[in-house]
Amino acid sequence: MVPEINKLTVRQAVDGIRAGAFSSVELTRAVLAATAKHAALNAYIWLDAADALHQAGAADAARQAGQAGALLGVPLAIKDVLNVAGQPCTCGSKILKGYTSLYDATAIARLRAAGAIFVGRTNMDEFAMGSTTENSAYGPTRNPAAPDHVAGGSSGGSAAAVAGGLALAALGSDTGGSVRQPASFCGCVGLKPSYGRVSRYGLVSYASSLDQIGPLARTVSDAALLLGVMAGRDAMDATTLDKSVPDFAAALQGDLRGMRLGMPREYFVDGMNPEVAAAVKAAIARCQELGAEIVEVSLPHTKYAVATYYILAAAEASANLARFDGVRYGFRAAAGDSPIEMYKKTRAEGFGSEVQRRIILGTYVLSSGYYDAYYLRAQKVRTLIRRDFDAAFTQCDALLTPVTPAPAYRLGETMDDPLHMYLGDIFTVTANLAGICGLSVPCGRTRVGLPVGLQVLGPAFGEEKIIRVGAAFERSGGAVP
């Protein structure tokens, strides 16, 4: 059997299973063994080894019966915010303890139809609110590259699982950078699709106008493969657009000759970690060596992005999370003297401090007397941010930027200073506000070995462009193994 098959790419695993080099059961056992060996990373909230092996056995039987599938027999990890029939879905929160999903999210159903195996559910910031996975009710996830540092968030468990060899690939969700930032922190690839490219049906909502499901993987090729399986119109989600799904595999073969790639001047600012800045600028120089023309562009409203994002996301969270009240499912506090008292106790005890903070902020900006001053104004600024990108993409095919201003934080570093954590989202939230696509690809490491990511941003439904750029850069040797 091939050694360390748990560290293969998805495409290598598919080829190996088809060639008979190993079975899906053997591959799944290797992944489960790695999760046990590296349990201290706390990448998973929930695992069912027996069920995973049962799924793998069924995949092997299907293969022997002549069935095929793009992902037949490949074990994947799923962020604990996506519904998978028969599995818990806690969103990293105490308030959903005991809830079991009754159905598959559309993204899960499409992966299942392609033959994928779902090994377990990965840790996350509670209800996807955070950038470190320290806001989980189940403890923080540690970074495989440096266990005394965070894995990023909110999809930190998925990123750690992929980077640590605990899954061949994983799904995350990205509301303000929650796929791209942990991918950058952990040294793997993370892809945020355009809004409307992948169905959100079955994704527990944080901020409905910003959320997108995206893959985390070892290579751009693997991320493109998963995106191709998941993408497309879904009658269960009216926000998905009726657009044909491109051949993302074809985009993997393109080089950078003839492409114009923009450097937004607002994304290279004073105060950035110098090692991050140096790694990203070296990656941009590499893209130029590969034939791309590098042009400077401006996104002038970037300075308003964090404030705009945290107003709009909190407002939508306030509405979306109102459904968690202890009445129908999940955690319920000991009954008070009235239903209202029970609601108060359940939400006070069930939600963590960061979720409570954002619900309160969102309720405030939606309240009478403040709606126009905050929420409505933020919506207007969002339009200006989107127009900035529209203008930039008339000058270039894609943008090259840092993912974050700094590498992974030390555990506990931002817990007493949430504003510091929020400001770290400056380079990622803009893509969600504008509805465009983005990719994080490894581009180097700091002197102490912390990964650094290059962000490639493309226009709405321009995934082929960012995949082309990321794959060409990766092939050139620019990516960290």
Point out the catalytic residue in the list 158, 178, 194, 205.
Answer: 178
User: Mean pLDDT across the stretch 259-278?
Assistant: 94
Q: Which residues, 6 or more positions from 117, have their beta carbon under 8 angstroms from its beta carbon?
A: 24, 28, 52, 55, 56, 59, 73, 74, 75, 76
Average per-residue pLDDT in the chain?
96
Reading across the β-sheet that carries 189-192, which strands appear in turn?
A: 44-47, 117-122, 75-79, 169-174, 212-217, 189-192, 437-445, 451-458, 398-402, 260-264, 293-297
The pLDDT assigned to 2 comes to: 59
Q: Name the nearest CA neighbour of 284 among 371, 116, 437, 396.
A: 396
- Verify whether residue 158 is a known catalytic residue: no
pLDDT in tens, 220-245: 999 999 999 999 999 999 999 999 99
- Give the residue, 45 or 335, on which the prediction is more confident: 45
**Helix residue ranges per DSSP H, 367-428:** 377-392, 418-423
pTM of the model: 0.96
- Which residue among 154, 158, 173, 184 is the active-site one? 154
Gyration radius (Cα) of the chain, Å:
21
CA distance 350 to 345: 8
Question: Which is higher by pLDDT, 329 or 42?
Answer: 42
Task: Provide the β-strand partners of residue 146.
Answer: 143
Amino acid in the structure at residue 462: G
Q: So where are the chain's domains?
A: 1-299+399-481
pLDDT in tens, 116-172: 999 999 999 999 999 999 999 999 999 999 999 999 999 999 999 999 999 999 999
Superfamily of domain 1-299+399-481: Amidase signature (AS) domain (3.90.1300.10)
Active site annotation includes 131:
no
| 74-127 pLDDT, tens digit each | 999 999 999 999 999 999 999 999 999 999 999 999 999 999 999 999 999 999
